[in-house]
Structure 1
């Protein structure tokens, strides 16, 4: 069975895991090395194999997938969606922002999980900015809603979780329902522009 968790501001920032005591504490808490990403708002997916991956390596891209039980995967966010995908034999951590939704990074991660033999996949999205708080300029709003109508909300506000659910229609996805901008327990670039990120972590 997969294990997962989401941290808050109170655990400390994990925007620079190589230099973070919080990252070391989290790895000790979980009991496995944690593999982070240098997130690029793209659609690159990396398969993490503990036998060939340096301990705690950081990968370029926005999704990491593994079928190894002694590996933990992390996604760092302030307002974007931290998506953790779960199955009995394969798990993934995915960074889904506005660009990631357009680049279909979650679909790419799902495809990679299936290649590794995953079935009955479900997903959990941790704290992220909600549709009532994520206001963008009218041009950007029009571009996103044209591609993903489900993201459309009140004037120039995007609901990325609704867009993700629509994009991954074959997967049952739930949200914790916590808005990073509304809740001061979480880092939010929109709320205060403070440098810092919380993480979602998953392992088999």
Structure 2
């Protein structure tokens, strides 16, 4: 059975490069080594079977029960994908939605034998708070109509849920901009990051 958690500001920041003392604290809490990734809003998925160098990716997939996967966020969506065969941690922002990084992660899990995949979405900026310029709003809602709502405000979760419509998704419903317990780039211009972590 998969184990997952989402940290808050209270835990400390796990921004890139990850502070070793904060990483040690996380690994002690989990009693597992944690694999991070160097996130660039790409659609790259890295399969991890042992702890190693930090891959350049926006999704990690693992079948090794001894490893936990981490995704760092401030306002983007931390998506944790669960199955009996594999788990994944995925960084889904506006660009990630457009380049289908979550779709790629699900595809990779299925290639590794996963079925009955479910997902959990952690704290991220909500559709009432994520304002973009009019042109960006028009461009994105044209491709992903579900993201549209209040004029010039994007609902990333609605877009992700539509994109992964064949998967059951649970949303914690916590907005990083509205809730001061979480780091938010939009609210405070912060460099701090919380994480979503998952392991088999």
Query: Which range, TM-score by smaller chain?
Result: over 0.9
Distance 2:38 2:107 in 1: 21
- For the residue of structure 1 that corresponds to 2:55, the secondary structure is strand
Residue 164 of structure 1 aligns with which residue?
Answer: 160
Q: Does 1:110 align with 2:106?
A: yes
Assess if the C-alpha contact under 8 Å between 1:14 and 1:20 holds in 2. no
Q: Distance between the aligned counterparts of 1:82 and 1:47, measured in 2? A: 18
Alignment check: 8 A CA contact 1:181 1:188 kept: yes
Distance 1:25 1:69, change over 3 A: same
TM normalised by structure 1 equals 0.96
Report the RMSD for the aligned CA atoms in angstroms. Answer: 0.9
Deviations 1:110-157 (A, max 9, x none): 000001000000000000000000000000001110110000010100
Please, which moves more after superposition, 121-130 or 27-36? Answer: 27-36
Gaps of 5+ in 2: none
- Give the Cα separation in 1 of the matches to 2:186 and 2:84: 36
Moved beyond 3 Å, runs of 4+: none
Report the equivalent of 1:27.
27
Structure 1 stretches of 5 or more lacking a match?
none
Aligned counterpart in structure 1 of residue 176 of structure 2, from 176, 180, 198:
180
Q: For 2:72, what is the secondary structure of its paired residue?
A: strand
Q: Which of 185, 189, 192 is equivalent to 2:188?
A: 192
* In 2, Cα distance between equivalents of 1:61 and 1:107: 14
Whether 1:142 aligns to 2:147 is: no
Q: Distance in 2 between matches of 1:155 and 1:87?
A: 37
